[in-house]
Amino acid sequence: MNNSANTENASRDDIQSGKGIQLMVDSFYGNARQDELLGPIFERAISDWQHHLPTMYQFWERLLFGHSDYAGNPFSKH
């Protein structure tokens, strides 16, 4: 995955669908994980990326569109 290209595309278009949310979330975490300072923090905090990313897709879908299966509490996690 080319994170710089994904970030560029995500910043040009409004998020209007689940695909846009996935692009935003994947770009953010892809860049954060590669960052010299943030990468190790994210790697320690998130052990199961295959579970975490779909949860974030649902969180943002709920926040932006008002619908999804997300029922978590992000404030208790952070």
pLDDT, tens only, 62-71: 999 998 788 8
Residue 6: per-residue pLDDT: 56
Q: How far apart are CA 67 and CA 70, in angstroms?
A: 8
Residue 20: per-residue pLDDT: 94
Transcribe 35-76 into DSSP letters: STTHHHHHHHH-S-HHHHHHHHHHHHHHHHHS-SS----HHH
Threshold 0.85, pTM exceeds:
no
- Find the mean pLDDT for residues 55-76: 87
Count the neighbouring beta carbons within 10 Å of the beta carbon of residue 4.
10
CATH superfamily membership of 3-77:
Globins (1.10.490.10)
- For the chain, give every domain's residue range: 3-77
